[in-house]
Structure 1
Amino acid sequence: MGDIEPIVLQRRGASPVQTSTPSPAPLRVTFDRRELDRILDLYGRMVAQGEWRDYAIDFQRDKAVFCIYRRAMDVPLYRIEKDPRLARKQGIYSVVSQTGLILKRGHELPRVLAVLEKPLRTI
């Protein structure tokens, strides 16, 4: 079976009507290169300090999630989530704690990740 072309009716003398198929919805939400670089930069610093040990990335249909673990077999300490549905509301990015408490939400990733930065300690 072949594709069926839609019939476009137009008035005499009018320019042809352009019909375009709507672009398909994205299959999954992902972090782009800049976002992932920023997240992995923070992750690398925290691993060097001995705070974090493992991570997992999950790209779902409605959001992308970066999970941070203290040990490989634990529940995640934090989840960094990107949810495009909240882009015009509370903000596309959020940091969620192990208990499900939203620690920070916003439109700018560096500001949201700042909640996970450890303050400098004197030795």
Structure 2
Amino acid sequence: MGVVTPFPVPPRGGETQIGFERAELTRILDLYGRMVAAGHWKDYAMDLGREAAIFSAFRRAAERPEFRIEKRPALRNRQGMWALIGEGGAVLKRGHDLAPVLAPVERRLMKLVAE
């Protein structure tokens, strides 16, 4: 008889992977879908690490992301765990809630649709 290994194996040192909750990811993917429908974004990537969960949106697949939406729970009690980072790496918006952080991108979407 074989040895039964528990699944999933707990990470070493108590480190866990940071991820998006269902409501957060729904909000982000809804915005992404609207930007794709407007013809502005073409691709996205997600990086789920030990310190942060990052959603990157691209105009084209072979370039730097136009926007990165970062969730860093370690900053929850400081300036807020959500950050919107621009193409050059500058923090455009930071906050405790996701909706106000996504507001500049949603305003840009309104301009794209109006044109």
Which category describes the TM-score, using the shorter chain as reference length? 0.7 to 0.9
Code of the residue aligned with 2:48 in structure 1: it is F
The residue aligned with 1:81 is 70
Match of 2:94 among 105, 108, 117: 105
The residue aligned with 1:25 is 14
Q: CA RMSD in A?
A: 1.4
Q: Structure 2 unaligned runs (5+)?
A: 1-12
The residue aligned with 1:66 is 55
Identify if the C-alpha distance between structure 1 residues 26 and 36 changes in structure 2 by more than 3 Å, giving closer, same or farther: farther
Percent identical across equivalent pairs? 47
Identify if the C-alpha distance between structure 1 residues 122 and 36 changes in structure 2 by more than 3 Å, giving closer, same or farther: closer
Q: Aligned equivalents of 1:25 and 1:31: distance in 2?
A: 19
Whose helix fraction is larger, Structure 1's or Structure 2's? 2
2:58 equivalent to 1:40 = no
* SS of aligned partner of 2:74: helix
Q: How many residues align?
A: 100
Tell me the CA shift for residue 26 of structure 1.
4.6
